Amino acid sequence: MEIKVLGPGCSKCKTTYQVVEKVIKENNLDVKLTKVEDIMEMMNYNIMTTPAIVVDEVVKIKGKVPTESEVKELLGI
C-alpha cells in the first residue's frame, strides 16, 4: 500500500502527515508513506484544497486534517 500526503508544507499538512505516520507506526503496517509538496505533482490529483491523502493513487481525504480513527478506517484497521 502507498499513501501520499499532499500539501505545500503548511501546519495542517504537517499535522496530517504526523497523524498518518503515527497510525502506521502504532499498527506496524507495511505502508510506503510519502509527502508531496510539489504543486505540479499535486495538480495531477485534481485537488483544490490541502491537505489531501491519496491511498494507492485514489484521493480519499481532502481539505481537512483527519483524526486517527478516520485514518484507521481508510486503511481498514
Q: Rounded to an integer, what distance in angstroms lies between the CA atom of residue 64 and that of residue 17?
A: 12
**Is 10 an annotated catalytic residue?**
yes
Which one of 1, 2, 9, 10 is the catalytic residue?
10
CB under 8 Å to 55, separation ≥6 — which residues? 1, 2, 3, 74, 75
Residue 26 annotated to the active site: no
Tell me which of 13, 20, 24, 36 is the catalytic residue.
13
Cell numbers representing residue 70 in the block: 478516520
Rounded Cα distance between 58 and 10, Å, is 22
Active site residues: 10, 13
